[in-house]
Amino acid sequence: MVLVRLLGFLFLIAIALCVVLFLFTKDRKYLKWGRRVFQFGIVFALVLAALYLVERIILII
């Protein structure tokens, strides 16, 4: 669980860094990178939630 929290924190840092780089350079590629990191983070969170749900269902049965 600590690893999941650490990865979430790293995702937030990466997105914030991309936004700050965009603000300093006005280069839109940093926004694209930030969007990709955000999308990957959402997919990662959904996969973890699905695995957690499957684990709970298996424990009930």
Percent of the chain surpassing pLDDT 90 = 87
Residue 18: is its pLDDT beyond 80? Answer: yes
The pTM score is: 0.82
First-to-last C-alpha distance (Å) of the chain? 24
In which domain, by residue range, is 40 found? 2-60
pLDDT for the residue 42: 95
pLDDT for the residue 1: 80
DSSP state at residue 27: -
pLDDT for the residue 50: 95
- The total number of structural domains that make up the chain: 1
Alpha carbon 24 to its chain's center: 23
